[in-house]
Structure 1
Amino acid sequence: MSDLKKMYSTILGDQFPMEMTITFGEQKLVYKKRTWKISQPDGSVDERGVRYGENPDQEAALFELVNGNLVLGDCHYIEPGNGLVSAIEVEDMLQVGKHPGKINLTDIDNGLNILKYLMDKPAAVILKHNNPCGAAYGSTLADAFNRANRADRIAAFGGAVVMSRPCDKDTAEMLASNYLEVVCAPEFEAGTLEILKKSKNLRIIRMNRIDRLAEFEKYRFVDFKSLIDGGIIVQQSAVNSIRSIRDLKPATASWQGKEYQCDREPTQQEIDDMIFGWAIEHGVTSNSVLYVKDGCTVGIGTGEQDRVGVAEIAVHKAYIKYADILCFDKYGIPYADLELAITKGERKMAEKEEIDAKVQADRAGLPGCTMISDAFFPFRDGADVGIKEGITAILQAGGSMRDFETIEACNEAEPKVAMMYTGQRSFKH
């Protein structure tokens, strides 16, 4: 075990070259390896790249695009000079904490991938293992982070936080009261670093280009997937084109000569949550189903093989997280600690029963949520999972042969559920 702990704290190093060139026919993209000169505890300065890859025994390197303007067909891919994560300088690491590894960097990157659609308001995204565990708008940045954190306080432990506005003292105080690996913001206001640096291992990263993050909506990049035989699949990066009510389509279907349509139109708040939820969906591993309400995630189901299963998982997670935050608010401890204390005879079962009753009465905050599905429902059973919990609206891709069943599910609900289509799916693997 001691050797494993040492692996986690060791900078592995890498054998990758300082420059990499990828050729597309006669066009070339040139990349430069990113390294940082970081002061060590003994006073020496060590120049290293990425700490290690996904695991401590995997060498890894970060490369920034520095030359080449790739055009394939009518697609102009992102040009050099737009670096975000790949352009982090040592001066941007306001506190290095543990030397950054691949997972830290890809969590920040996916946070930016989501946040680029949420730049109109203060927003915060908390990520773990390249998936959001909480995301929210807020009246202030502190409010946004607090809402995102309360959506899943359990998974946020050891997470990466990416924010759309400069970090202020109120937000810093909230951040400092949680165990986090990474905090990233466009700037850190006076007095915030003293608060955040109380956690010595916290990586604090300033990324001033976040102020221009909305511009990245229009950029495409080449997305590479390497195969175990050394081959590569390349694709264009995904673009979220669902940005307003004008991009949504009515839920209609035809089946055996009969026309179907949803009886109820969505409210403005439901439309807002559809747009918000689809932006979050853009950064969630598929198959996925989300529940969102008032610009905040309530339950996030990720990476499941069947759609009804992931809808159920998202509900299950919502119930667990709701019980945990109720327990934390009332007793200052996690729900799991309360259960353990009861088992040991240190607390009363009535305390747990009170929380459980509240969770069931509130149905984990799911009533009034909008359900977001990254692809169509092949059968109505997925939608029925959310309807049973009191969701009031659904956004899905549409296009299933059995869309009429899901429309019937919405119309049969009491009260009726609104539904809209995106006309596009949002898979991410």
Structure 2
Amino acid sequence: MSDIKKMYTTILGDSFPLEMTISFGDQTLVYRKKTWKIRKEDGTEEERGLRYGENPDQEAALYELVNGNLVLGECKFIEPGNSLVSGITVDDMLQVGKHPGKINLTDVDNGLNILKYLMDKPAAVILKHNNPCGASLGESLAEAYNRANRADRIAAFGGAVVLSRPVDRETAEMMSQNYLEVVCAPDFEEGSLEILAQRKNLRVIKIERIDRLAEFEKYRFVDFKSLIDGGIIVQQSAVNSIRSREDLKPAVATWKGKEYRCEREPTQREIDDMIFGWAVEHGVTSNSVIYVKDGCTVGIGTGEQDRVGVAEIAVYKAYKKYADITCFDKFGIPYADLELEVEQGKRDRADKEEIDAKVKEDRAGLPGSVMISDAFFPFRDAADVGIREGVSAILQAGGSMRDYASIEACNEADPKVAMMFTGQRSFKH
């Protein structure tokens, strides 16, 4: 067992070259491999790149764009000098913890991918396996982190936290209570690093450019997908065009000569949650449906093959996470531990019944939430899932032949549900 465990703490090393060039016709991009000279526990220093790839037996390397200003068609791609994760230096690793691997850095990168649309207020995103498990805005950074963590305390275990503001002592205290893999922020206020140092394996990364992250909203980069035969598919990166109420479109459709229009207009709070939720959706693996409320995720469904299924999974997760945080608040233990203790006869069954009753009464906090779908509803069944749980508004791409049916579902609801279209799909694979 000890040998199996050791593979997760071993730096694999890699055979990748120090420099890589990619030519697009007469234009050339130059990439340089990132390595860091990091002091080991025995006091010696070692120059290494990524720890390993997605698994401990996969070599991996991180490259930073250092040359080339690519222009293809009417699209001008991101230029050198705008590095975020690929520009991390050894000085930016304020606490190394365990040497970073591919997943640590891609989680941070996707956190930045979401945060770049949320820079107006303190915001926190907690990620696992390149998907957000909790995302929230707050009046303070501590509030934003606390809400994101409470949205899914279970999945946040071992997660990467990416923050839009410098870490203060209050936020550091909260994060030190959890097992986290990475904390990334634009800066760390006095005393916060000493608090985080209580977690010796935690990686603490400073990316100063986060304070200018909003500039990256419109930047495009070349997005590569490698195929098993060595071929590649190249695409422009996605850009979120839904940034204000004016970008939203009314839910209107025509079917067999009849016009269908959503009868209820969304409130300002619902509009705000639509804008927030669509920003979070930009970093969620498709097919996806999420529920958000008051600038915080309630349930996140990711990577499913059918839309009604992912709508149901997001509801299921909302109930499971709500039961867990309710139990933790009441008894100081996870809901799963409560279930086990009841089953083993170590705890009164009434304790579990109390939690279950509270979750059922509150309906996992879903009533009044906004349902966000990264693409259109091909049938009304997915909309019906959210409406049954009490959502007050829905945001979807629109463009289905059966948009009229989803509009009817909103108009038939009691109370009526608002719906808006984005006119933009937000797939991420």
Identify whether the pair has TM-score above 0.5, normalized to the shorter chain. yes
Query: What is the CA-CA distance between 1:419 and the residue it aligns to?
Result: 0.2
AA in 1 matched with 2:403? D
1:93 aligns with 2:93: yes
Structure 1 residue 53: Cα displacement: 0.1
Q: Is the aligned partner of 1:419 residue 2:413?
A: no
Could you say which residue in structure 2 is the equivalent of 1:295?
Answer: 295
- Measure how far apart 1:344 and its partner are: 1.5
Superposition pairs for residues 308-319 of structure 1, below 5 Å?
A: 308-319=308-319
The 3-state SS of whatever aligns with 1:385 is helix
Q: Percent identity?
A: 81
2:333 corresponds to which residue?
333
Q: Which residue of 2 aligns with 1:349?
A: 349
Residues 157-213 of structure 1, C-alpha deviation per residue, up to 9 Å, x if partnerless? 000000000000000000001110000000000000110001000000011100000
* 1:345-384 correspondence runs (5 A): 345-384=345-384
Partner of 1:215 in structure 2?
A: 215
Structure 1 residues not aligned, in runs of 5+: none
Task: Describe how 1:89-238 pairs up with structure 2 within 5 A.
Answer: 89-238=89-238
Q: CA deviation at 1:345?
A: 1.2
Matched, 1:84 2:80: no
Query: Partner of 2:263 in structure 1?
Result: 263
SS at the partner of 1:340?
A: helix
**Partner of 1:79: helix, strand, or coil?**
coil
CA apart distance, 1:42: 1.0
Could you say which residue in structure 2 is the equivalent of 1:22? Answer: 22
Other-structure match for 1:387: 387
Equivalent residue of 2:154, what SS?
helix
What is the Cα deviation at residue 222 of structure 1?
0.2
| C-alpha separation in 2, matches of 1:42 and 1:293 | 49
Deviation at 1:66, TM superposition (A): 0.2
DSSP 3-state at the match of 2:17: coil
Please state whether the residue corresponding to 1:156 is helix, strand or coil.
Answer: coil
Aligned to 2:283: 283
Deviation at 1:3, TM superposition (A): 2.1
* Structure 2: 5+ residue stretches without partners: none
Between the aligned partners of 1:118 and 1:265, the Cα distance in structure 2 is 24
Per-residue deviation, residues 217-274 of structure 1 (Å, max 9, x unmatched): 0100000000000000000000000000010000000000100000100000000000
Report deviation, 1:346: 1.0
Equivalent AA in structure 1 for residue 353 of structure 2: E
Q: Deviations over 1:308-355 (max 9, x none)?
A: 000000000000000000000000000001111111211110000010
The letter for the 2-side match of 1:326 is T
1:342-383 per-residue CA deviation (whole Å, 9 max, x = no partner) reads 112111100000100110111000000000000000000000
Q: TM-score, normalised by structure 1?
A: 1.00
- Helix, strand or coil for the counterpart of 1:66? strand
SS in 2 for 1:329: helix
Deviation per CA, 1:63-114: give whole Å up to 9, x if none.
0000001000111100000000000000000000000000000000000000
RMSD: 0.4
How far the C-alpha of 1:2 sits from its partner, in A, is 2.2
Count of paired positions? 429
The one-letter code sitting in structure 2 at the alignment partner of 1:110 is N
Counterpart for residue 34 of structure 1: 34
Amino acid at match of 1:134: G
C-alpha separation between the residues in 1 aligned to 2:43 and 2:97? 15
